[in-house]
Amino acid sequence: MNRNELARAIYETAHLTGTFTLRSGTVSHEYFDKYLFEANPKLLKAIAEGMAEQVPSGIDALAGLEMGGIPLVTMLSQITGLPALFVRKQAKQYGTAKLAEGGEVEGRKLLVVEDVITSGGQVVISTGDMRKLGATIEQCVCVIDRQAGGREALAEGGIALSSLFTMSELKEAGASAQA
């Protein structure tokens, strides 16, 4: 699947209109339901193949954020051969009481994997938590950058963002498919 086909497939599969409250509290009249593209095995694989090109060298492991980043990091791990970590929003209070499952965080260079970035708030929080545990994190890769301040918020936290697509690119792909 080429880049234009992938953008169109994501748009056609996951773009919804209506009234939606985003995690940031902002109300939007359009929404990309990431679970619709993450639940589609062929589309998820194509997305991960596209994201694999954005994985920088020197990464020790991929850190997928709860919950939407988990299917992505699993597939991206399969494609790149890099180990996956499954990062909770907060360390669980029982069992191993870990923030990240699947391996150690300390002393590793991690790439954060996320589905959609709006304000970037959860990525900044989770990155800070993993850095406190001894991880080195300089970059995040996502499927969709909603272009709503997330890139700037991440940059303030010392995190460079690479997105497979911006909201504008997906809307353009959707418009061209309807023309």
pLDDT for 175 beyond 90: no
CA distance 110 to 102: 13
CA distance 2 to 148: 26
> What proportion of the chain, given as a percentage, has pLDDT over 70?
99
Q: Name which of 79, 57, 65, 60 is nearest 34 in CA terms.
A: 65
Domain ranges of the chain: 3-178
Predicted confidence (pLDDT) per residue in 141-172, tens digit: 999 999 999 999 999 999 999 999 999 999 99
**Average pLDDT score over residue span 115-121:** 93
What topology does CATH give the domain 3-178? Rossmann fold (3.40.50)
What's the first-to-final CA gap in the chain, in angstroms? Answer: 20
pLDDT for 93 beyond 80: no
Whether pTM > 0.85 for this model: the answer is yes
Is the bond preceding 167 in cis, omega lying within 30 degrees of 0?
no
